[in-house]
Chains A and B, each alone.
Chain A
Amino acid sequence: MIGPSFEAVLDAAAGGDEAAFGILWRDLQPGLLRYLEALAPGAAEDLASETWLRIVQGLGRFTGDERAFRGWVFTVARHRAVDRWRRRVRRRDELVPADALAGLPAPDDPAGAAVEAISSRAAVALIATLPPDQAEVVLLRVVAGLDVAQVAAITGKRPGNVRVLTHRALRRLADRLGADTRVRGAV
């Protein structure tokens, strides 16, 4: 979060100040990549670029505080991800050769990696193993730093629904981590 100087930074960026835009970018880009990586694995960089292009084009028209700005950025990012998902669904009937599948790396164990390394990437990978709606809610709350009302607005759910999904996600994470710890402790 940029904090009290956000408005000045935003004004400067909207006036064409590259340094100010750099501040906004550095503040939001990590969370954006983590969120998009969970929504569209392997395409986060591209989607983030598309998102920033939209942000840059609309920067002069934006009105609001930092909270609203963050909400706007992640809304745009979500739209980019949904668009990509739709494009992929249209091309779903393309056949994938078996050899190509054999060459893909086996999925890691995100739970073990997260507990041991506690890197942000591993943590996001673990969250991404949750059911999609739960993973998205948790990431928007944790990574994007949005509140319940904003997440509800972005995802098109009711605030109560967002809370329930968050509870379930935390419980499921706890179950997974606990089970993993128990299994490894037993080993």
Chain B
Amino acid sequence: MGSDGVFPAEMPEHGPALIDALDDNTAERLVRGRVSPDDAPPGYAGVAKVLQAAAGPAVPEELAGQEPALATFRAYGPSSAARARPRGREQARPDGRRRGRPDGRGRVDGRGRGRVVALALAGVVAGGLWTAAGAPSPAGLPSRAGAPQSGGAGSGAPGSLTQARPMTPPVTGAAANARAPVQPPARERSTRDGGGPAASRASGHGAKEHRPGKPPKPKPKPKPEKSKPEEKPKPEHRR
């Protein structure tokens, strides 16, 4: 027996035949409430009514809970003053400026650049003074501080040559110091390069190694001259 109290065999045959199958377009319009009951396909007038009623305007009972909802919003919602929204959209401030990075980026950069230059110059001067005042240089080797002497005129060498030293880590500076002027034979060089972490010590060791050094003793003289042209351009690049 069916839910209507009628056996299926007793049901009138014409009933279901009145209901057409819906095409996609009509079904979509029905669901969107765009089919009035009068215009509905045969058998679907009641459906159109029901769907329109289901999507109908709010009744007062449905909006009765607004106050508790607002209380929830006050308690847990974002407060206008405290929280900025982490959203992708642009948000204008009341004064017309955007949040985030300040607009005067170039101005800030200009100041920052000036500070960097001033600090660099101070470092150069301090480094030069330190070197000139007696920074330990490997005995018997032409010191870099003295390089400008042979380095030629007008290169600004005292500053420029010593400039590289304080700005670079002492390790690399010392290692360069040890290597550049001496250029020992390949076997010696390889052993020294192997002592990487102790490179600052290597400068001293390297100097001592070459002093008693066998034949290559004359070599240090030409070497500094060779190294000068290599080092001179460095400050120019910096500029």
Contacts and interface: CB of A to CB of B under 8 A. Distances in A.
Contact of A120 (B59, B65, B81): B59
Interface string B40-51: 000110110111
B168 interface: no
> Interface size for chain A: under 10, 10 to 19, 20 to 34, or 35 or more residues?
35 or more
Of A52, A57, A123, A174, most B-chain CB atoms within 10 Å: A174
A30 B78 contact: no
A154 interface: no
Given A15-B78, A173-B47, A178 B54 contact: no
B153 interface: no
A170 B27 contact: yes
B63 A170 contact: no
Contacts of A121: 59
A115 to B, nearest CB: 6
Contact of A174 (B32, B44, B54, B87): B44
A81 interface: no
B76 interface: yes
Nearest to B83: A60
Given A141-B31, A142-B31, A174-B44, A53 B72 contact: yes
Nearest to B49: A118
Contacts of A126: 50
Given A26-B58, A127-B50, A59 B77 contact: yes
Interface string A28-65: 01110110000000000100110011001101111100
A83 interface: no
Interface in A147-187: 163, 166-167, 170-171, 173-175, 177-179, 181-183
B190 interface: no
Contacts of B97: none
Given A167-B22, A177-B47, A56 B73 contact: yes
A131 interface: no
A21 B65 contact: no
B19 A143 contact: no
B36 to A, nearest CB: 13
Contacts of B87: 14, 60-63
A85 interface: no
A181 B31 CA distance: 21
Interface string B84-95: 011111010000
A175 B4 CA distance: 12
B47 A118 contact: no
11 contacts: A18-B73, A18-B74, A25-B69, A25-B70, A61-B86, A126-B50, A127-B54, A143-B55, A166-B31, A174-B43, A178-B15
Q: Which 8 A-B pairs have the closest CB atoms?
A: A16-B80, A177-B46, A30-B58, A123-B53, A123-B54, A30-B62, A118-B53, A15-B80
Interface of B: 4, 6, 12, 15-16, 18-19, 21-22, 24, 27, 30-33, 43-44, 46-47, 49-51, 53-59, 62-63, 65-66, 68-70, 72-74, 76-81, 83, 85-89, 91
